[in-house]
Amino acid sequence: MRKLLMVLSLCFVVCSCSEGAESIVLYDGSLNEGIETPSAQGWLYIADPIFGSFASQNASGGVTTLNTMTYASIMAGYFNQDPSGLSGYIHPAMSGIVLDRQTGFSLDFSVKINSESHSYNDRAGFSFLVITADLMGIELGFWENEVWAQSDNPLFTHAESANISAYLMNEYTLEVLNGAYSLYVDNVLALTGDLRNYSSWVNPLDGGHKPYDIPNFLFFGDNTSSAKSSVSISKIEMNINSVPEPSALFFFLSGIICLVFGKKRLAE
């Protein structure tokens, strides 16, 4: 009986430790003497064809500052994939990565809102968007003193929010697991809620649904013509939870059990 308890305890320890996390650096502002923008590290920088030339991205001192403050109509930001789907481009560090909300993953990012202005309560000059493999996701809007979630019913309206001093260079962690997200600011839980499905939105420019129907999709920047901002970004890192193959774990534990009870039978 003592050996059985030992085996069960070992099984518990192995199962408890079997889940790990793969860390993926998506942007490190400190590289190359702190003068690299996200577009120099695998992100696609895209600005709208009409007003996008008035946007600017400048890297200095380990941070990239994205500025769309000239006009509210400016839209510009960073994509981990080609949102048109035409080129098939994907951030090299995310090639083959699946954002599985059942297994879970998190994003660590450092962002400071230098200034922000919006015409409507449902828009923000800076947004952070995550879409999982099955098109569930969350879009967070950042104001100077508030971070809030975009609803999917009604679509793209102001949902749950938290008063956050976003004008500081905060360390954010966005955790996604099952049907929910949690946003931590400097390791303190600030906002939580349900994931959304935004894929019903139709892009008026091309009659399609992109980018909200693209799996494993990330975006950060200004994606609205009704708001503007200046933001500084210094870091984006992803942590993907991983679980070993069940068959491998099964055979490992089966071997231990056979070994223990085999020795017991020989001793009888």
Cis peptide before 83, with omega less than 30 degrees from 0? no
Cα 266 off chain centre by: 55
Say whether 183 sits in a helix, a strand or coil: strand
Lowest mean pLDDT among 165-174, 219-228, 259-268: 259-268
pLDDT of 258 higher than 80 = no
Chain segment 237-252, per-residue pLDDT in tens: 999 997 654 544 444 4
pLDDT of the residue at 18? 44
Q: Which of 63, 20, 56 lies closest to 38 in space, CA to CA?
A: 63
Q: What is the mean predicted confidence (pLDDT) over 5-28?
A: 62
pLDDT of the residue at 244? 53
Region class of 97: left (phi > 0), else alpha (psi between -120 and 50), else beta: beta
Chain segment 167-220, per-residue pLDDT in tens: 999 999 999 999 999 999 999 999 999 999 999 998 887 767 789 999 999 999
pLDDT of 2 higher than 70 = no
pLDDT of the residue at 204? 80
pLDDT of the residue at 69? 98
pLDDT of the residue at 246? 52
Q: Could you tell me the pLDDT band of residue 8, with boundaries at 50, 70 and 90?
A: very low
> E-strand spans in 197-259?
217-222, 227-242
Q: Around Cβ 182, how many Cβ atoms within 10 Å?
A: 15
pLDDT of the residue at 202? 87
Full set of structural domains in the chain with CATH: 2-12+22-267 (2.60.120.200)
Is residue 259 exposed (0-12), middle (13-18) or buried (19+ Cβ within 10 Å)? exposed
- pLDDT, mean over the chain: 88
pLDDT of the residue at 19? 53
Chain segment 92-151, per-residue pLDDT in tens: 999 999 999 999 999 999 999 999 999 999 999 999 999 999 999 999 999 999 999 999
Cβ 7 vs Cβ 260: under 8 Å:
yes
Chain segment 62-98, per-residue pLDDT in tens: 999 999 999 999 999 999 999 988 899 999 999 999 9
How far apart are the C-alpha atoms of 188 and 172, rounded to whole Å?
A: 9
